[in-house]
A and B are shown apart, each in its own frame.
Chain A
Amino acid sequence: MSASHSVVLVYTVAHAIRIERLLAARGAACRLIPVPRHLSSDCGVCVRIDRADTPLARRVIAEAGLDIEGIAELR
């Protein structure tokens, strides 16, 4: 993990996989990772994305009608 990444915090692992596949279909690199300790999440995993892909991620999530906990920058 590095400062160039953000994580999408989700309510359930099914949403994480949905987001991962929607982003992958648009050519955005992402990965499911355990939620970093300093961030809270219910489901144990989150979607790590390149920080530059944050606007794309927000768009994809809105189009899919998904509620998420939020997007946090990794330090």
Chain B
Amino acid sequence: MTPLAGRVLYLDNAATSWPKPPGVAEAMTAFLADVGANPGRSGHRRAVEAARLVFDAREGIAELVGASDPLRVVFGANATEALNLALVGLLRPGDRVLCSSMEHNAVMRPLRALEQRGVGVDVVACSSTGELAVADVEAAMRPRTRVIVLTHASNVTGTILPVAAVGRLARDRGLLFCVDAAQTAGAVPIDVVADGIDLLAFTGHKGLLGPMGTGGLVLGDRVDPATLPPLKRGGTGSRSSEELQPDFLPDKYEAGTPNVVGLAGLAAAVRWVLDRGVADVRRHEIALTRRLLTGLAGIEGVTVHGPGDAERQTATVSFTLAGRDPAEVGLLLEEEHDVLCRVGLHCAPAAHRTLGTFPSGTIRFAPGVFTTAEDVDRAVAAVRSIAGGTR
């Protein structure tokens, strides 16, 4: 354990998960110590071994989200890069795109930049608990709407959006459906086929329990790579005689030496998640969320922002304390109780406007798969102590 581990209660898993499961750090160390070569750049055995590690990660992600072809899993630095690849690549001036009012800036900023280039952006308002009505999505469709992009779950309130229903709607209307699974991959079951998801952006370092600097995009069968230009171009180790980017997957979208040390860790992490089972992770996190919601409800002055129902959200819970600045509460949680969480706007100003918590934001507790019921009780007791009493 590091000196930071100690008594600290880490409740910031929505920002990045910690700790990582056994085997992740070991896989990364083993790559650096024993393999170390560049995949696809040479034919020797170390280079092939590096390529196998990357392919293990590809297969693991494909299995986790129900994708039949691991070659349609393309890796990048994070979900943000994947969302930029999808949105900037798909949308042309004159097109329209639909999103919810609960999106993270990883969606909103690319969309606002595209808006300046002539793409129409329609933001469907969610309720004050962050929930999205499918009928409102349908009503917001216009003749030039080409893509629907939705967060699977809010990074502020944990509210789970109805992706399967919107996926059906997108399919019925011939639209492409892009889902930001930064908060759900590994924590909430995802099936890209059953949910009608055409482009799934994921990050490796949250619910997938891998290292930072890993993520990517899963392309469904309805996405023709010929219509989706890459964000970056460069060396791939393939077609070296040509100065044009290869048109085949995954190389088209993976220019430059990949983060193999990170992907080795991700492959081990995803294997751990698959062995445990996403459904089992979800059950554990629902139980923790229910306990946390019940505990917070018993504290005078606490308002929980979100569905307030563990079944309808991830393990991310946002709250405010009457008359108290979230930043001050966050500082007291850390300094007096060793509880680490995130306060403020969580890179999601649109979501906070929807909730009515802009600009001061909220206090966000995000337990994870390694959080225990006792940890949740300790966090609730810390909030009660700061609030100064019970209801």
Asked whether B40 lies within 8 Å of A12 as measured between CB atoms, the reply is yes
Question: Majority SS of interface residues in chain B?
Answer: loop
Per-position binary interface string of chain A over residues 22-57, scored 1 when its CB falls under 8 Å from any chain B CB and 0 otherwise: 000000000011110000001111000000000000
Q: Which size class do A's interface residues fall under? A: 20 to 34
In whole Å, how far is B258's beta carbon from the nearest beta carbon of chain A? 11
Residue A61 lies at the interface, judged by CB distance under 8 Å to chain B: no
Across the interface, which residues of A come within 8 angstroms of B41, CB to CB? 44
| Chain A minimum-CB-distance residue to B68 | A64
Asked whether B40 lies within 8 Å of A65 as measured between CB atoms, the reply is no
In whole Å, how far is A14's beta carbon from the nearest beta carbon of chain B? 6
| Chain A minimum-CB-distance residue to B237 | A43
Residue in B39, B71, B239 whose beta carbon sits within 8 Å of that of A42 in the complex: B239
CB within 8 Å of A: which B37-76 residues: 39-44, 47-48, 51-52, 54-55, 58-59, 69-71
**Could you tell me the distance between the alpha carbons of A42 and B239 in the complex, rounded to whole angstroms?**
5
Asked whether A45 lies within 8 Å of B248 as measured between CB atoms, the reply is no
**Could you tell me the distance between the alpha carbons of A12 and B58 in the complex, rounded to whole angstroms?**
15
Residue B250 lies at the interface, judged by CB distance under 8 Å to chain A: yes
Asked whether A11 lies within 8 Å of B248 as measured between CB atoms, the reply is yes
In whole Å, how far is A60's beta carbon from the nearest beta carbon of chain B? 13
Q: Which size class do B's interface residues fall under? A: 20 to 34
Asked whether A11 lies within 8 Å of B238 as measured between CB atoms, the reply is yes
Asked whether B248 lies within 8 Å of A44 as measured between CB atoms, the reply is no
Across the interface, which residues of B come within 8 angstroms of A43, CB to CB? 40, 43, 237-238
Residue A18 lies at the interface, judged by CB distance under 8 Å to chain B: yes
**Could you tell me the distance between the alpha carbons of A44 and B250 in the complex, rounded to whole angstroms?**
17
Q: A11-B246, A42-B240, A44-B237 are in contact. Are A17 and B55 (CB under 8 A)?
A: yes
Interface centre among B51, B52, B241 (most CB of A within 10 A): B51
Residue B251 lies at the interface, judged by CB distance under 8 Å to chain A: yes
**Could you tell me the distance between the alpha carbons of A34 and B46 in the complex, rounded to whole angstroms?**
12
Asked whether B69 lies within 8 Å of A64 as measured between CB atoms, the reply is yes
CB within 8 Å of A: which B211-261 residues: 236-241, 246, 248, 250-251
| Chain A minimum-CB-distance residue to B39 | A13
**Could you tell me the distance between the alpha carbons of A13 and B240 in the complex, rounded to whole angstroms?**
13
- Residue pairs across A and B with Cβ atoms less than 8 A apart, 11 shown, are A11-B246, A13-B51, A13-B237, A14-B71, A15-B71, A17-B51, A21-B59, A35-B43, A42-B237, A44-B43, A64-B69
A residues whose Cβ falls under 8 Å from a Cβ of B? 11-18, 21, 32-35, 42-45, 64-67
The 3 closest A-B CB pairs, nearest first, are A44-B43, A34-B43, A12-B238
